[in-house]
Amino acid sequence: MTLFVGTPDPLLSLQLFTTGKQQNELLHQLSQKEKVVLGGDVRADSPGHSAKFGSYTTMDLDTNTIVDMQLIQSNEVGGSYHMEKEGLKRSLALLDARGVTVDCIVTDRHPQIQKFLRENNVTHYYDVWHIAKACLHESRQTRDKKKWLSAETPAFCRLEKVMANKRILKDVAKLSPHHQTSSLEAFHSVILRFAPKNVVFPFLGMLYR
């Protein structure tokens, strides 16, 4: 987390100093590990693509420990769509500077993230839920063959079209085999209690929360 010098709030200064000290200790511990598996995700301050702030969080998925948070303002990067990539970029730069070896990172399927990690030769996996959420119906089992999909029916053709989609097939091959980002998303849901999306905060207010 970036520390801001000269912030007018003494309590915030103390909190940032304490957080920075804890983060330094954690980064030192991670630098001693041979490989680190990260999870990454952004939390916007409002729904949709008109967010002013985005906080990008990286988590050590072996211990479910928050490694870093970067608060991005949309006008820094030319729009809210670019905040996620910038947040990840800053976090990885910090980890690299502190000697942390990232084995792989698990995120959603954001196109800019895919391209950035591919160009930087970072092994990238997708969280399983971001593909599985297309099948949110309850699991059903039956021995009645009449209830199975029949070939060439409209329902079967629609299912075949989805499952044979080239992008889906390519993305399934990159699903994370072990680690997921559910703990990270749970952490973001906790932040909602302190920074709800229907309330507007200034930059320092968001940073504090």
Domain ranges (residues) in the chain: 10-127+177-208
pLDDT of residue 4: 42
Contact 99, 31 (CB under 8 A): yes
CA dist., res. 43 & res. 59, Å (int): 14
CA dist., res. 47 & res. 7, Å (int): 29
Please give the structure tokens belonging to residue 38: 């990260």
Average pLDDT over residues 191-197: 89
Q: What is the pTM for the complete model shown?
A: 0.79
Model confidence at 7, in pLDDT bands (50, 70, 90)? Answer: very low
Please give the structure tokens belonging to residue 150: 């029949």
Question: Where does 10-127+177-208 sit in CATH, by number?
Answer: 3.30.420
DSSP annotation of 204 = H
Beta bridge partners, 37, equal 104
What tens digit of pLDDT does each residue of 66-76 get?
999 999 999 99
Please give the structure tokens belonging to residue 136: 């949110």
Strands ordered across the beta sheet of 124-126 = 65-73, 53-60, 36-44, 102-107, 124-126
Could you give the C-alpha distances from 92 to 61, 100, 107, 194, in angstroms and in order? Answer: 15, 9, 13, 26
What tens digit of pLDDT does each residue of 140-172 get?
777 777 777 788 888 888 888 887 888 888 888
What tens digit of pLDDT does each residue of 71-97 get?
999 999 999 999 999 999 999 999 999
